[in-house]
């Protein structure tokens, strides 16, 4: 077991170093830097609710950066790219396919965490600066614990998407199909709650139950990411959620990641590499 963990960590380290060497990643960080500091201009367009809007802007930039990372870096690294032959090379070493998949996930998750920490720190600095430069009435609340909670929620969402990318990569060859599938998955996840809300308003009682049940279980497959969206709490006096409201989404999404990863590992083990 210890040896397996060592092998996973060693490969994860390679993935991290490979990621850090890429100029595209450095470009992404610079883009995010520019975007985050853009918050200083953005708040100028908001007359009253400056705290709320600036906070949303910062988290949106961090989310967008993470999304670009997932779609254009993680997908490429994970996809079974025959030209690169990376997977074949790794598997020539004494490492199992499951270990390969777990290492890939761990390495990319570590890179994502680093990205979030860098941007989160910069975002916090920008928010503190904005708060100090406007009258208190326009930026009343800024809470570090809720900022960290919002950041953790965002990171967890990214981990779920990363796990799904791993699953798609295990089953589909080529980075472009994986990218398209991931985008479809994301839009279904964000669209399903809207469909449920709209149908709840329109449907008559009789036909409601079966369709409701179907949509409910579809949401189990395509989760509602808004459960992990706590960004509005960081800079507003919105009602604080109770402990169950906080722990349940994290526990649920952690289990989701485990199940998806498990499936991905099973497919990796059985997939023909030729």
**Which stretches of the chain bind other proteins, using CB under 8 A?**
45-49, 52-53, 56-57, 59-60, 63-64, 154, 157, 186-187, 189-191, 193-194, 198, 225, 229, 231-232, 236, 238
Least separation, in Å, of the C-beta of 159 and other proteins?
14
Q: At its nearest, how many Å lie between other proteins and the CB of residue 132?
A: 21
- For residue 110, which of 35, 28, 20, 179 has the smallest C-alpha distance? 20
Closest to other proteins by CB, 57 vs 69, is: 57
Compute the least distance from the CB of residue 147 to other proteins, in Å: 15
**CB closer to other proteins, 85 vs 191:** 191
Minimum Å gap between C-beta 106 and other proteins is 24
Q: Which is nearer to other proteins, 106 or 246 (CB)?
A: 246
Q: Do 71 and 183 meet the contact criterion of CB atoms below 8 Å apart?
A: yes
CB of 62 to other proteins, least distance (A): 10
- Between 63 and 124, name the residue whose CB sits nearer to other proteins: 63
Indicate the residue among 49 and 212 with the shorter CB distance to other proteins: 49
Of 42 and 168, the one with the shorter C-beta distance to other proteins is 42
Measured from the CB of residue 51, what is the shortest distance to other proteins in angstroms? 11
């Amino acid at each position: 077991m210890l040896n397996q963990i060592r092998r996973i960590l060693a490969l994860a380290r390679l993935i991290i170093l490979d990621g850090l060497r890429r100029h595209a990643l450095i470009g992404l960080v610079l883009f995010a830097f520019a975007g985050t500091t853009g918050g200083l201009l953005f708040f100028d367009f908001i007359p009253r609710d400056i705290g709320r809007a600036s906070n949303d802007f910062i988290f949106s930039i961090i989310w967008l950066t993470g999304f670009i990372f997932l779609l254009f870096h993680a997908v490429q690294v994970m996809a079974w790219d025959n030209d690169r032959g990376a997977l074949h090379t790794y598997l020539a070493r004494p490492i199992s396919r499951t270990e390969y998949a777990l290492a890939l996930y761990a390495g990319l998750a570590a890179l994502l965490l680093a990205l979030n920490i860098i941007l989160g720190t910069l975002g916090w600095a920008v928010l503190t600066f904005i708060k100090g430069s406007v009258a208190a009435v326009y930026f009343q609340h800024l809470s570090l614990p809720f900022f960290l909670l919002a950041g953790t929620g965002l990171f967890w969402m990214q981990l779920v998407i990363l796990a799904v990318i791993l699953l798609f990569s295990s089953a589909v060859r080529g980075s472009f199909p994986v990218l398209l599938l991931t985008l479809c998955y994301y839009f279904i996840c964000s669209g399903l709650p809207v469909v449920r809300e709209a149908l709840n308003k329109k449907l008559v009682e009789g036909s409601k139950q079966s369709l409701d049940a179907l949509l409910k279980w579809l949401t189990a497959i395509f989760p509602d990411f808004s459960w992990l969206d706590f960004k509005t709490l960081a800079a507003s006096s919105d009602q604080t959620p109770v402990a169950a409201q906080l722990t349940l989404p994290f526990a649920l999404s952690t289990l989701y990641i485990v199940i998806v990863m498990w499936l991905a590992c099973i497919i990796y083990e059985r997939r023909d590499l030729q």
